[in-house]
């Protein structure tokens, strides 16, 4: 018990009002009350905008020390919270708690529109934006809106050119980790996605989905002008240039333009004399 009070006295330097249910420290701006004066001080920084704790690696600033410590794990790779079931490690305790729902099968958060259940509240909130159409995250450069903050962060890299994920084999850099993982399969030769019809294997799931349309005959992309349909979105885009007259691929020798890159490459062989199929 003495140790318990020592913890509180070190952090708050006040009596343990938490267990008595008392909240004697109130914010003058919003009237929110706290049991500990230090908690009030941290809260006041939300109104003042003060962020006194700065990361020495990336200069990102925080209003409280605990948030800085958690952030620093992004740079250090530290994952102090480990799942007892599968030994998977996490940087944050809340991430571990959410992960443990996978083992327990617990999905306590349910959508009141479609009854889909989620194991954490943030996933439910993100899901509900599908129904509401809410897109609260706005790009300050092009005003494009997003329903998820992570999508905005990834989108911002289009404007900044930041590519934080680097291949340790060829040093090629990518804006998204998932793209790096897919790229690394070029070096490893991994092809996790196999066609159940012909056993052809692919490194990307999207490539498998596109390939399967050869067997199913599915053509989900339809031209709005002539109603011709295509199995791939890129083929539809190329086709639509017939109607629009757009020819974005230009020969740097004679300035002749083409609707697709393949046609430009064939044309350029006239200038280079290259005959790759002889």
Please count the other Cβ atoms lying within 10 Å of the Cβ belonging to residue 147. 18
2 and 16 Cβ atoms separated by less than 8 Å? no
Furthest CA-CA distance within the chain: 88
**Least-confidence region, from 72-76, 133-137, 241-245:** 72-76
116 and 127 Cβ atoms separated by less than 8 Å? yes
What's the whole-model pTM score? 0.43
pLDDT digits (tens, 9 = 90+) for 71-96: 888 888 888 999 998 999 988 888 88
pLDDT digits (tens, 9 = 90+) for 163-176: 989 999 999 999 88
Please count the other Cβ atoms lying within 10 Å of the Cβ belonging to residue 95. 16
């Amino acid at each position: 018990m003495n140790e318990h009070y020592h913890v509180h006295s070190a952090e708050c330097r006040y009596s343990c009002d938490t267990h008595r249910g008392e909240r004697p420290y109130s914010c003058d701006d919003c009237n929110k009350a706290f049991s500990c004066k230090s908690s009030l001080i941290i809260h006041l920084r939300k109104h003042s905008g003060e962020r006194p704790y700065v990361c020495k690696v990336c200069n990102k600033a925080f209003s409280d020390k605990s948030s800085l410590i958690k952030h620093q794990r992004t740079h250090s790779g530290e994952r102090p919270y480990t799942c007892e079931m599968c030994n998977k490690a996490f940087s944050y305790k809340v991430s571990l708690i959410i992960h443990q729902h996978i083992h327990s099968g617990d999905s306590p958060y349910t959508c009141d529109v479609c009854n889909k259940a989620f194991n954490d509240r943030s996933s439910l909130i993100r899901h509900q934006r599908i129904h509401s159409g809410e897109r609260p995250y706005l790009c300050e450069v092009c005003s494009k809106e997003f329903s998820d903050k992570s999508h905005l962060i990834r989108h911002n890299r289009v404007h900044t050119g930041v590519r934080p994920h680097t291949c340790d084999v060829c040093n090629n850099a990518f804006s998204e980790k998932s793209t790096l993982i897919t790229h690394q399969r070029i070096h490893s030769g991994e092809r996790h996605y196999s066609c159940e019809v012909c056993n052809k294997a692919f490194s990307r799931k999207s490539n498998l989905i596109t390939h399967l349309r050869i067997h199913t005959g599915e053509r989900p992309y339809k031209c709005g002008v002539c109603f011709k349909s295509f199995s791939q979105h890129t083929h539809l885009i190329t086709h639509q240039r017939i109607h629009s007259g757009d020819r974005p691929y230009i020969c740097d020798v004679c300035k002749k333009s083409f609707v697709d890159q393949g046609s430009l490459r064939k044309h350029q062989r006239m200038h280079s004399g290259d005959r790759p199929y002889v």
